[in-house]
Amino acid sequence: MRVTQMSVPLGIGATAPDFELRDQNNQRVSLSRLRSEGRKVLIVFFPLAFTGTCQGELGFIRDNLPRFANDEVTTVAVSVGPPPTHKVWSAAQGFLFPILSDFWPHGAIASDYGVFNPDRGYADRGTFLIGADGRIVFADVVGPGEARTEELWDKALGGSVGDIATES
C-alpha cells in the first residue's frame, strides 16, 4: 500500500501564494493583478471540467454572478485542466468568470494552497477568500464527492473567520 504525503490547506491569516495562470481564453491572470484592483479575490479550486458536481458548483456562481463579481469581490475558478478544455466547457455552460488552468506544472498552485490530491491528480474543492492585503480571510476544503453548499458560499463571500473544514 502506497502512502502519499498530503499537504495541509492554508489557513486564515496566511499569505496567499501569488500565481499567474492562463484562463479559458488563454489570457494570463495573476492574483497580484486582481488584488491591485482593490477587491477581494475568491479562489475556487475544483477537480475537473465536464463533471456533474463541478458543473453544478460553477453553475451556481454563474447563476448568482452579481454576488461573486462586483465592486467588493472577484471570483476565479482553478482546475488542472488545460485552457482549451476550459474554453469549450465554459462556452457551453456560459461561465463568464475566469476558469484558470493549473495544468503545468501539474497542480502546482493547488499544491501551494494545500489542496492538490496527488492520488487523484487534481485539486480537492478548496475555497479561499483573499483580502486586499494578500492574506486569506476565509478557507474551506470540501471532501471528495461533496459539493459546496449555499451556506458555504455565503460564509466565503461574507469573509467569515473560522477554521478550515476538512474531511476526516
pLDDT tens, residue by residue, 31-79: 999 999 899 999 999 999 999 899 999 999 999 999 999 999 999 999 9
Q: What pLDDT does residue 6 have? A: 55
Cβ atoms < 10 Å from Cβ of 167? 11
Residue 142 counted as domain residue: no
Residue 151 counted as domain residue: no
Please name which of 64, 69, 74, 56 lies closest in space to residue 148, comparing C-alpha atoms. Answer: 56
Show the domain range for 100.
22-72+85-124
All three cell numbers of 121, joined, read 491528480
CATH code for the domain in which residue 117 is found: 3.40.30.10
> The pTM is what?
0.90
Is 54 an active-site residue?
Answer: yes
pLDDT band for position 161 (50/70/90)?
very low
Residue 8 counted as domain residue: no
Catalytic residue among 44, 54, 109, 110: 54
Number of domains in the chain: 1
